[in-house]
Structure 1
Amino acid sequence: MQATHIDHVNLRVPADGADDARDFYGERLGFGIEDGPYEAGEKPFFDVRLAPAAVLHLWPTEEFEPPTATNYNHVAVVVEESIEAVEAELDAAGVEVEKSLDAPLGATGEAPAVYVRDPFGYRVELKARA
């Protein structure tokens, strides 16, 4: 078996969290929101389009439990911009950087990264291309 990339990651969010997710992932981070079928009641989740071949499926549910250190750490997303440009975009959008690392190791090698929290407690690593 030879994998090429991660297609999607499923994340539960609070039942009333769709608007917060749209604001954070769409408006503040600038990712595409694909929620037509969700809004039409055709599927129980909506997508955050990270890249042409990668999405987060966000599942609003009453069974949401905030992530803890024992059940979730973070999802890492490679970005095209420099970390300095990402930090400037985050600052302009009012998104607090939780931590910065000079060269964490990942699938594509070592590269600078910043970490932020979404409104539901999930950590998102925004990593420069190695």
Structure 2
Amino acid sequence: MAVTAIDHLVLYATDVEETCEFYAETLGVADREAFGDGRVALTFGNAKLNVHPAGDEYDPHAADPAPGSADFCLVVDEPVAALAERFADAGVELVAGPVAKVGARGETESVYVRDPDGNLAEFAHYGD
């Protein structure tokens, strides 16, 4: 067996609506999708972030699910300097960046922000 991709990750959110609004509307990096029995996901490319309500998790779940414990990287298709400007215009403070980093496919330029629960979201661009 060979793993070929990450399909989805789960964010545990104190406020599901606020988290979805942050990624979908404030940052503009994902689309909100309802699925299953009232569940919510943030979709982008060929992957998604499922957003579960903290304290009312779906089974099965992580051994110790907690809001603000995620640290992940999303690949973007534009230079991060433009992304940093868009985030600043939306009132989103950068934690770091633009900075040079190394991702799964090589060198990137990245910016980092925190979502409403304090999760660290990195946005990386591989360049041309």
1:49-100 residue CA offsets vs partner (Å, 9 max, x unmatched) = 121x110011013266343xxxx45110000010111111111111111011
1:23 pairs with one of 21, 24, 47: 21
**May I ask how many residue pairs the two structures share in their alignment?**
118
The answer on whether the counterparts of 2:11 and 2:67 sit within 8 Å (CA) in structure 1 is: no
The residue number in structure 1 matching 2:124 is 127
SS at match of 2:100: coil
- Aligned identity (percent) is 31
* Cα RMSD, aligned residues only: 1.8
Gaps of 5+ in 2: 57-64
Runs of 4+ residues deviating >4 angstroms: none
The residue number in structure 2 matching 1:33 is 32
Measure the CA separation in 2 of the matches of 1:84 and 1:101: 7
The residue number in structure 1 matching 2:103 is 106
SS at match of 1:115: strand
The residue number in structure 2 matching 1:47 is 41
1:35-58 residue CA offsets vs partner (Å, 9 max, x unmatched) = 2x36xxx14x3100121x110011
The one-letter code matched in structure 1 to 2:18 is: D
1:2-45 residue CA offsets vs partner (Å, 9 max, x unmatched) = 2222110011112xx1221122011011110112x36xxx14x3
Between Structure 1 and Structure 2, the one with more strand by share is: 2
* TM-score of the pair, normalised by structure 1: 0.81
Measure the CA separation in 2 of the matches of 1:66 and 1:32: 21
The residue number in structure 2 matching 1:56 is 49
The residue number in structure 1 matching 2:66 is 65
1:83 pairs with one of 75, 80, 84: 80
